[in-house]
Amino acid sequence: MLDLTYDAPKPKIIAGAKQDWELVIGLEVHAQVATNAKLFSGASTLFGAEPNSNVAFVDAGMPGMLPVINEECVAQAVRTGLGLKADINLYSAFDRKNYFYPDLPPGYQISQLYHPIVGEGEVLVDMAPGIARVVRIERIHLEQDAGKSIHDMDPTMSFVDLNRTGVALMEIVSRPDIRGPEEAAAYVSKLRQIMRYLGTCDGNMQNGNLRADVNVSICQPGAYERYQETQDFSHLGTRCEIKNMNSLRFIQQAIDVEAKRQIAIVEGGGEVVQETRLYDPDKGETRSMRSKEEAHDYRYFPDPDLLPLEIEQSWVDDIASGLPELPDEKRLRFMEEFGLSEYDASVLTADVANAAYFEEVAQAGDGKLAANWVINELFGRLKKDDDKDITDSPVSPGQLRDIIALITKGDISGKIAKDLFEIVYTEGGNPAEIVDARGMRQVTDTGAIEAAVDEIIAANPAQVEKAKANPKLAGWFVGQVMKATGGKANPKAVNEIVAKKLGS
């Protein structure tokens, strides 16, 4: 078994006017649970439905309506917890977070403040081969999403769409273990990768199915290490929370501008105020969302409509036994089983569909060659083709496997194989049949190659003399032979024969 050890990445340093500063970042990622029904109602979660069409009475906060927990949402949260190597809490409970807003019909959000379903875990955030950050997960809790308020459709009215109201979210809370904007983006990206493998969240950030609140603070070099030793937060600076980020690029930009804002305050002799801020990508700044006077008092208390959620260890075990192979393990296995580099293995396991495609191609063949073909030829071609998804690839794994088999058998050269790939990509068909039908098969008949070599030697006596003096010039003869045979001569055979003839 390969034992991969990683070095921690260096923390990002930002130079202030007076000194260098480091960043400390923690994230609260809100991941929409992939299920058909909402957390406490039977209403559909389908995206893009007519406004207010996916709404049960309880979602609309109608009098006397009661929530009933959706078991599948619990299973998905447990699955996610297991995927993050986290403790699963067999006892958890739901609390009400009270505040008034039109897209929150009952006037409270059902969440899990005091007893979350998932406890401590960790995520390996790989930054480069051999470099990775271990980010600790503090907790994951289940909660309801709010609806959508639309303020710009009418000059005098606001509209409310409750389709999203009550949809299940997992809030994944990290420890402040992230040390730079790139790491933050990589962390979200890794979470998304793991949840996609698990099938617990589609990770679609554009639709808002994955969003992050980013907590940023700055500290002097060395302070973070003291925090790590003691877990005493007083070593760290005051944090600000940037709400509701739904793009990896904006997360990085926002962290950067927020850190610089804080540095300017501190270096100017001021104090950072703990608050909630919004990132404005157009202006490239963060803005305070609400002042301290407007700060909510959410009046959390246990939701009396719901009994504590008690699950059985055996149920958790069942879910655990059904978990798919996760990215880290898959990457390691690809390295071991197919002899891939960490980089190639990472690329191929980034997405579960890519990995599955590769495995089918690599079946009983040369894994490295398969990896090269998938990464360089297929991915490159798909990208050129309007960034097509691998699941829509015109070349099936079987076809690509056949193409590679033709190379390894020596039936075609690598160069011809690229032409063949393009034919299969655009026209389809059985690769071996195409090779035959179009006369693309490589010439491996040494007699024919010898004849071609002899012909070239006879026609270029001056070149022969030079080549005899300098064996490096043999390549010229090889090129001539390949040209004469339309590229179909087996290059290895040509090399050998040219060397033999010139050397004799």
Percent composition of the chain: helix, strand, coil (DSSP 3-state, to 5): 40, 20, 40
Instruction: Name the β-bridge partners of 28.
Output: 173, 213
Residue selected from 297, 386, 392, 427 as contacting another protein according to rule CB under 8 A: 297
Q: Which stretch binds another protein (CB under 8 A): 95-103, 174-182, 244-252, 477-485?
A: 95-103
Binding mask 336-355 for another protein (x = CB under 8 A): --------------------
> At its nearest, how many Å lie between another protein and the CB of residue 102?
5
Q: Which of 48, 64, 222, 439 binds another protein (CB under 8 A)?
A: 64
Work out whether 63 is an interface residue with another protein (CB under 8 A). Answer: yes
Residue 73 CB, shortest distance to another protein, in Å, is 14
Q: Taking a C-beta distance cutoff of 8 angstroms, is the pair 40, 166 a contact? A: yes
Q: Applying CB under 8 A, which part among 98-106, 131-139, 215-223, 484-492 lies near another protein?
A: 98-106
CB of 424 to another protein, least distance (A): 55
Instruction: Report the C-alpha gap between 293 and 296 in whole angstroms.
Output: 9
Question: Between residue 143 and residue 182, which ones bind another protein under the rule CB under 8 A?
Answer: 158, 160
Nearer to another protein, 46 or 62 (CB): 62
Instruction: Give the C-alpha separation, 182 to 492, whole Å.
Output: 46
Closer residue to another protein in complex, CB, 11/147: 147
Closest contact distance (angstroms) between CB of 421 and another protein is 57
- Residue 241 or 366: which CB sits closer to another protein? 241
| DSSP H or E stretch at residue 202 | none
Candidates 219-227, 270-278, 294-302, 425-433; binding stretch for another protein (CB under 8 A): 294-302
Residue type, 58: V
Helices (H), 311-413: 313-321, 327-338, 342-349, 352-362, 367-372, 379-384, 397-408
What is the rounded CA–CA span in Å between residue 382 and residue 182? 26
Q: Is 51 in the site for another protein (CB under 8 A)?
A: no
Taking CB under 8 A as the criterion, the residue among 107, 221, 322, 380 binding another protein is: 107
Token duo for residue 20: 């260098």
Q: Which region, judged by CB under 8 A, interacts with another protein, from 63-71, 197-205, 344-352, 492-500? A: 63-71
The answer to whether 125 touches 132, Cβ cutoff 8 Å, is yes
Among 8, 46, 66, 459, binds another protein (CB under 8 A): 66
- The residue ranges of DSSP E strands in 129-203, in sequence order, are 131-144, 148-150, 159-161, 168-174
The angle subtended at Cα 124 by Cα 121 and Cα 130, nearest 5°, is 155
Helix/strand/coil for 217: strand
Residue 96 sits in the site that holds another protein (CB under 8 A)? yes
The residue (of 56 and 416) whose beta carbon lies closer to another protein is 56
By CB under 8 A, is residue 306 in contact with another protein? yes
At residue 462, what are phi and psi to the nearest 5 degrees? -65, -45
Q: Which of 26, 105, 180, 181 binds another protein (CB under 8 A)?
A: 105
* Shorter beta-carbon distance to another protein: residue 245 or 309: 309
Q: CB-side exposure of 179: number of CA atoms within 13 Å?
A: 22
DSSP state of 56: -
> How many helices, marked H, and strands, marked E, lie in the chain?
17, 16
Quote the least distance from Cβ 101 to another protein, whole Å: 8
Cα–Cα distance between 25 and 262 in angstroms, integer?
13
* DSSP-assigned letter for residue 239: P
Q: How many CB atoms lie within 10 A of CB 290?
A: 12
Stretch of residues binding another protein (CB under 8 A), selected from 55-63, 176-184, 187-195, 465-473 = 55-63
Q: Please state, in angstroms and rounded to a whole number, the distance separating the CA atoms of residues 72 and 418.
A: 47
CA distances from 461 to 131, 455, 456, 465, 468 (A): 56, 11, 9, 6, 11
CA distance 304 to 171: 22
Q: Binding another protein by CB under 8 A: which of 299, 383, 466, 500?
A: 299
Report whether 453 contacts 494 (CB < 8 A).
yes
Cβ proximity to another protein, 57 vs 343, nearer residue: 57
Q: State the minimum distance, in angstroms, from the CB of residue 192 to another protein.
A: 32
DSSP state of 152: S
Query: Closest approach of Cβ 248 to another protein, in Å?
Result: 33
Question: Does 102 help bind another protein (rule: CB under 8 A)?
Answer: yes
Choose, by CB under 8 A, the member of 28, 241, 305, 325 that binds another protein.
305
In angstroms, the CA 482 to CA 490 distance is 8
**Strand partners of residue 318:** none
Nearer to another protein by Cβ, of 149 and 408: the residue is 149
Number of residues that bind another protein (CB under 8 A): 30
Given candidates 24, 60, 146, 417, which one binds another protein under the rule CB under 8 A?
A: 60
Among residues 69, 150, 484, 499, the one that binds another protein under rule CB under 8 A: 69
> Interface with another protein includes 301 (CB under 8 A)?
yes
Stretch that binds another protein, among 217-225, 292-300, 410-418, 442-450 (CB under 8 A): 292-300
Nearer to another protein, 114 or 343 (CB): 114
What residues make contact with another protein under the rule CB under 8 A?
Answer: 57, 60-69, 96, 98, 100-102, 105-108, 158, 160, 297, 299-301, 304-307
